[in-house]
Amino acid sequence: MNTETPSSRPALRHLVVRGLAGGLIAGGIAALSFGSVAGAQTIAGFNSNQPVNYAADRIELQDRQNRVVLSGDVQIRQGDLQLTAARTTVAYSDAGSLRIQRIDATGGVTVTRGNERASGNAAVYDFNRRVIV
């Protein structure tokens, strides 16, 4: 039974997105790699306990589908690591606690850290396999 009311929805949306954005970065960013699969480099020495800052023009919680859609100038930053895209869909499981399964980013995707940079039209981050393509 969904007991959410219209007045509680913005607060819930904020909590879920904040938790998912934190999980996006802290949940496995050390496994993120830059470049092609053949020449992949892992992000060594990254502190995933740093605070996470994020912004998007629109945030849509699709709780029945267990996903959050961030769209319009999506920016996620933790320390010196930044991900930008036009749209990001975060799929999660909700078995007692939120756990990110997959992140799909589209539209001018860029991941930067220091002088390292990876960019493309789309990126998929599979948390179960701990890879980004």
Structure tokens at 12: 């819930």
Domain ranges of the chain: 9-132
Per residue in 43-93, pLDDT (tens digit) is 455 554 455 567 899 999 999 999 989 999 998 777 787 889 999 998 888
pLDDT for the residue 84:
92
CATH 2.60.40 for the 9-132 domain, yes or no: no
Phi/psi of residue 112, each to 5°?
Answer: -130, 150
User: How far apart are the C-alpha atoms of 115 and 46, rounded to whole Å?
Assistant: 14
pLDDT for the residue 123:
82
Alpha-carbon distances of 51 from 22, 54, 55, rounded to whole Å: 8, 10, 14
Check pLDDT > 90 for residue 16: no
